[in-house]
Amino acid sequence: MITMMGISHQFKIGKKGKERIVPVLHDIDLSVEKGEIVAIVGRSGSGKSTLLNLMSGYIRPTAGEITVAGRMVTKLDEGAWADFRLAHYGFIFQNFQLISSMTAYENVELPLVLKGVGQSERRKRVEKMLENVDIAAFASHYPSELSGGQQQRVSVARSLVLEPPIVLADEPSGSLDSENEKSLLTMIKQLNHELGITFVIITHDDQVASVAHRTIRLQDGRLARQAPLVSVESIKETFDLAKGGHHS
């Protein structure tokens, strides 16, 4: 689903003329399969957020190529990237990133509005999505009137309302308490299983990483370990069994 080949990235810091180049990622090769949940872990400054930003198209790699859903995206211009993001990605952010002047309903509706979906179709899909994440009762609430867990549910609903094939999550449980974190992880597992959505999750939380089929560890901008402990299929089987009554 996502392939990164020879990806390097470096930042320029300091004032113009006295710039200093700071390398962040070095020659990364990785691929994420369709239907996988991949956790990217590492210490602060290891480059995991940069890796996710490269996948999202928010920044461009200094070197290397990125292919998403069979399309070379490295050289897309800003407008094309925007269209590509809308068509292929859902985003879950650490700080939820909801628009404060919009209600929960309007925040979830936003991707549909951007895509130009008609009003009746929008209403149907938003209401269904709010039901799915169990936040329908708070549809008319503004983000400031919602708890952290509720805001993250709205954020998840917004990321999935267009039914994207890939969801990129940056520290999704970073602002949540343990109970809300657990609930979010269950939701991710369910969505992955039921809809086959591919998840790439940036985290430094072991519990979050535990729901992943595969964990990629970054260390000083390099891949430290890429560990498909078991195959995706076998994980799915295990998940099915767990859903059938056993605790995984």
Q: How far apart are CA 154 and CA 142, in angstroms?
A: 11
Measured between alpha carbons, how far is residue 66 from residues 118, 167, 176, 208 in Å? 33, 16, 32, 25
Q: Which residue of 13, 21, 22, 82 would you call a contact of other proteins, by CB under 8 A?
A: 82
Q: Which of 89/138 has CB closer to other proteins?
A: 89
Confirm or reject binding of residue 136 to other proteins (CB under 8 A): no
Kindly state the smallest distance separating residue 146's Cβ from other proteins, in Å.
16
Torsion of CA 210, 86, 33, 65, to 10 degrees: -110
Strand partners, 52: none
- Cα–Cα distances (Å) from 52 to 36, 56, 79, in that order, read 16, 6, 19
Smallest separation, CB 225 to other proteins (Å): 27
For the bound state, the minimum distance from the C-beta of residue 226 to other proteins, rounded and expressed in Å, comes to: 26
Pick one of 9, 48, 85, 213: the residue that binds other proteins (CB under 8 A). 85
Residue 166: CB minimum distance to other proteins, A: 12
Which is closer to other proteins, CB of 158 or CB of 217? Answer: 158
By CB under 8 A, residue 175 contacts other proteins = no
b/e map 133-171, b = 16+ CB within 10 Å: bebbebbebbbeebeebbbbbbbbbbbbbbebbbbbbbb
Of the listed pieces 3-11, 68-76, 89-97, 201-209, which binds other proteins according to CB under 8 A?
A: 89-97
78 touches other proteins by CB under 8 A:
yes
199's enclosing H/E stretch is strand 198-202
Which residues of this chain interact with other proteins, rule CB under 8 A? 53, 56, 58-59, 78-79, 82-87, 89, 91, 93, 95, 97-102, 110-111, 113-116, 158-159
